[in-house]
Amino acid sequence: MWLFNSSIGRKVVMSVTGIALILFLTFHCCMNLVALFSGEAYNTICELLGANWYAVLATLGLAFLAVLHIVYAFILTAQNRRARGDNRYEVATTVNAGKVEWASKNMLVLGLIILIGLLIHLWNFWYNMMFAELIGAMPELSPSDGFGWIQATFSNPLFVAIYVVWIVAIWFHLTHGFWSAMQTLGWSGKTWLCRWKMIGFIYVTLLMLGFLVVVLAFAFGCAPSLCCGGSCC
């Protein structure tokens, strides 16, 4: 099948899975922002999701998309390097090198940083929440106490630093990946390419700022949900 056997097909798979993952990040960001204002409301959302069959099914589907995206990223990177051969070392010295985005030239490095951050994130939250509920484990906090897990995670300066680096890497990855996906899918001409770049830049920036605000608000104890009567508890 051309989607899996041809270079164009693999790029289409990368684009479609990438867009799906951006949509998930949008939902995840909106959910996280709730924690800024109400721990009770956030835990209600966590309880609605939890280890319910539909949440588990959605998680498996999301994992499939993520694995497909990652595997094809490595395949396409290896394919491109084989095609360029020794010339890949001369890219930076060419006349047009300055026109090539930094993110475009470092997508694999960014991808590796994002993958490491993802594994840490899964360990901090999914492992202690959905997985713990599925196997009936009793971690330090209740698996449904998502608000408590956010507090515990971002009270650790090391995790705060890791998440900030992770969010920045995702921003670089997505600002390039957004318009690149539109171009691969044939949804951009000479005019719309510039528009998609601007739309992607604004959308991804707002999306990542949402995640960053949650991390820093909990790290510094400034989330409204952490305060009582205007002064932090």
Catalogue the E-assigned strands of 96-188: none
pLDDT value, residue 65: 93
Rounded to the nearest integer, the mean pLDDT of the chain is: 86
pLDDT value, residue 95: 36
Alpha-carbon dihedral 110, 209, 122, 76, rounded to 10 degrees: -30
Q: Could you please report the per-residue DSSP string of 190-228?
A: HHHHHHHHHHHHHHHHHHHHHHHHHHHHHHTT--GGGEE
* Top-confidence residue, 196 or 138: 196
For residues 43-61, give the mean pLDDT. Answer: 92
**pTM (2 d.p.):** 0.86
pLDDT tops 60 at residue 97: no
pLDDT value, residue 92: 42
Q: What is the pLDDT of residues 162-179, one digit of tens each?
A: 999 999 999 999 998 898
pLDDT value, residue 38: 95
Query: Lowest mean pLDDT: which of 92-101, 130-139, 151-160?
Result: 92-101
Query: Lowest mean pLDDT: which of 21-35, 129-143, 203-217?
Result: 129-143
| Closest alpha carbon to 73 in 25, 109, 28 | 109
pLDDT tops 60 at residue 228: no
Report DSSP state, residue 83: H
pLDDT value, residue 85: 60
Angle at 203 between CA 202 and CA 206, to 5 degrees: 85
- In the chain, pLDDT over 70 holds for what percent of residues? 87
pLDDT value, residue 102: 73
For residues 152-161, give the mean pLDDT. Answer: 97
